[in-house]
Structure 1
Amino acid sequence: MSEKNYDLNNIVEMKKPHPCGENRWKIIRMGMDIRIKCLGCDHSIMLPRREFDKKMKKVLE
């Protein structure tokens, strides 16, 4: 399994798009949980790090 490197304020692409149609998210908080914000509608969600690692496709910026 490859190690995915990401950091605070990175733009990431998730495997499934948000219901608003956008697939790009900005990492706004890191710790045990990771909070990401949709760049389409500014909705934010918090995911456990393990779940985030499974759902993230790649780092864009």
Structure 2
Amino acid sequence: MERKQFNLGDIVRMKKQHPCGSATWQIIRMGADIKIKCQGCGRIVMLPRLQFEKRMLRVEP
């Protein structure tokens, strides 16, 4: 399976919406874990890289 390409600062669309209604997130930290910030309410969430890659749909232009 091909790994998804994303970089620090990218805006990504996730499979599920956040409870605030937004499905777009900004990547603010990368490593073994990925830290993302909701573009709707500003909530910050940290996910393991494999879980993040499974939940991410695409990088927004």
Amino acid of the residue matched to residue 37 of structure 1? K
Matched, 1:28 2:9: no
Aligned twin of 1:11: 11
- TM-score between both structures, scaled by the size of structure 2: 0.95
Unaligned runs of 5+ in 2: none
4+ residue segments displaced more than 3 Å:
none
- Sequence identity (%): 54
Deviations 1:3-38 (A, max 9, x none): 210000000000000000001000000011000000
Aligned to 2:60: 60
TM (norm. structure 1) is 0.95
Which segments of 5 or more consecutive residues in structure 1 lack a partner in the other structure? none
Matched residue count = 61
* Partner Cα separation in structure 1 for residue 34 and residue 6 of structure 2: 11
